[in-house]
Amino acid sequence: MGRRKYTEAERAERAAADNELSEQASAVLADPHALLKVVDQLASIRSPKIHRFSLRNQVLLLKQAEERGVLLIDVDTFKGWRNRGRAVRRGEVGYRVTVPKGREQTGEASETAEFEGAAEQGGEGEQTKTLFRMFPFFDISQTDGFDEDQPGYDAETIENVTSVLHASLVDQLERFGYTITTGDVPGAVVTADPPTVTVPEGLAVEDLAVALGSILSLPPKERPRQRPAERWTAGDAGCISTTADGIPKTKVRLDLGEDYGTATAWVHDQWETGTTVYDVKASRVSGMITVTSSDATQTDLFAAAMVAFGDWSKEDHYRIEDAPGAPVINGVDVVGRTRGITRDRAQVITRRTMNIRKPDKWRSTEEAPQKTADRAAAVVRAILRHWLLREDLDTLHAARARFEAPTFQRDAEHIARQLDQQLADLTAERDQHAATAARYAALAETDPQQTEQP
């Protein structure tokens, strides 16, 4: 039995309801106070599917949930739930969001695009635009399970929601062509020429959300064109997955600059060691790069970064050529690590300011070829741009300090024991010299006339 066809009246009623819902979402996006409530709500949601949506779609979801008086847990399509071993109950009404449905040639920007202004250049100089439609998603509370062995049967969760939300907002702003900077401003400041978003130090997600909302709420013709989102591979849990050890990881896009294009990276934090690992894939680049706070035990707050080629998330005492997962760039194994990279220095990193090396046949290393080192430096710059935007760097710094502290404690205690022994030896030597000096003093004070003559 096929799907029931809707009448023209039903279609018109649905279109009117969708338009009203879209207008409500636009009103929220234009209201900074309303957006702060949205951020608070999103911070309590741990579903990777929900955090995959654009800010506009997240507002649509939360608005509908608020009207129904429910809290969203985890959402998916009708088919998506079937693939996860659950079935949407008969009669349940979905939460409507915008999804792409195709492209058409045009010179105008789409007014209903989820990624507003997402027009692209077509063949022979023609403009194309993505067409969008409303599509239903269902919360897990609207489903019943029928196969618990299916992957994703239970609600999927995110460990560090703030980090994922932060990354999503940064990605959406950058796809609009905006550069994100920090400054002495009371709140988010958006300028069109050059396209820049300036937010207070700390890069709170609230400021980023307000900046993005102000852009999304512009009239379609005034909105900058937005580059489409990366097409993530199927089954990646909405750009969020886990490592082999069960650690949450997030997929991000990295801009390597006009010479090298873009890269994607799975990113995960190892909080036991205070490290962040980027597993990077790009043209002629594949492998892991680790970022952490440099010399964390020396300062109370984050001051500079250390970058190491390979996965240094579990161990900190490799020879650089033995680090697992070291990247292959231009067909060359790249190793090395560099400390003390401040925020200012991170923006101008070149091969000359990085320790970029390759293993040689003598189980040592030598300088990497120039073109390989230049590409490696571009990857490191892109990673640091992403990592330094995190608002929890001081927390990572503290975690790194806790990890490093026992090693430095052992070193300090060893030195203290050596100094104790040196002090004991010096004290004994001092006492010996003092006794000798006393003997000499006694000899010097002896009266010659009182000395017996033979």
pLDDT tens series, the chain, 454 aa = 455 677 888 888 888 989 999 999 999 999 999 999 999 999 999 898 898 899 999 999 999 999 999 999 999 999 999 988 999 999 999 999 988 766 655 554 333 333 333 344 444 444 556 677 889 999 999 999 999 988 789 887 887 788 888 888 988 998 899 988 888 888 889 998 888 999 887 768 899 999 999 999 988 888 888 777 654 433 333 355 556 666 777 878 898 988 898 888 989 999 999 999 999 998 899 999 999 999 999 999 999 999 999 999 987 777 888 889 999 999 999 999 999 999 999 989 999 999 999 998 777 899 999 999 999 999 999 999 999 988 889 999 999 999 989 888 998 999 999 999 999 999 999 999 999 999 999 989 877 776 555 5
Name every residue whose Cβ is closer than 8 Å to that of residue 234 and which is 6 or more positions away in sequence.
none
Spatial distance between the Cα atoms of 121 and 228, rounded to a whole number of angstroms: 12
224's tokens:
């900058």
* DSSP type of residue 306: E
Name every residue whose Cβ is closer than 8 Å to that of residue 196 and which is 6 or more positions away in sequence.
178, 179, 180, 181, 190
With vertex at residue 240, the alpha carbon angle to CA 382 and CA 142, rounded to the nearest 5 degrees, is 150
Spatial distance between the Cα atoms of 56 and 69, rounded to a whole number of angstroms: 20
Spatial distance between the Cα atoms of 100 and 97, rounded to a whole number of angstroms: 10
Place of tokens 């109950």: 89
393: alpha, beta or left, given left = phi > 0 and alpha = psi -120 to 50? alpha
Name every residue whose Cβ is closer than 8 Å to that of residue 443 and which is 6 or more positions away in sequence.
none
| CB-count burial class (<10 Å; 0-12, 13-18, 19+) for 219 | exposed
Determine how β-strand 195-199 pairs with β-strand 179-182: parallel
